[in-house]
Amino acid sequence: MAEEKVLAHITGTVWKIEVEVGDEVEEDDDLIILESMKMEMPVIAPEDGTIKEILVEEGEAVDEDQVLIIMEED
């Protein structure tokens, strides 16, 4: 199985984590909600897979292109 790194598409704060390690997700499912300039922006699953590792916590500041989640492709 190949790994997929899910990146932050904006600089902001992790507002909410919608998944847990071991969750199976489908393409376009919301994984994390980032907050930037009072706007909530979802980070979505790029494809079907299983959440292998979550590298951030709620309330944490993140940079654009920072790895947030590692998934295993189904």
Average pLDDT, the chain: 97
**Phi and psi, residue 36, nearest 5°:** -145, 125
Q: Residue 47: what pLDDT?
A: 96
Helix (H) or strand (E) holding 35: strand 30-36
Give the contacts of 31 (CB within 8 A, at least 6 positions apart): 6, 17, 18, 19, 25, 42, 43, 44, 45, 51, 68, 69
Q: Residue 39: what pLDDT?
A: 96
Catalogue all structural domains in the chain, each as residue range(s) with its CATH number.
3-73 (2.40.50.100)
pLDDT at 74 over 90: no
Q: Residue 41: what pLDDT?
A: 97
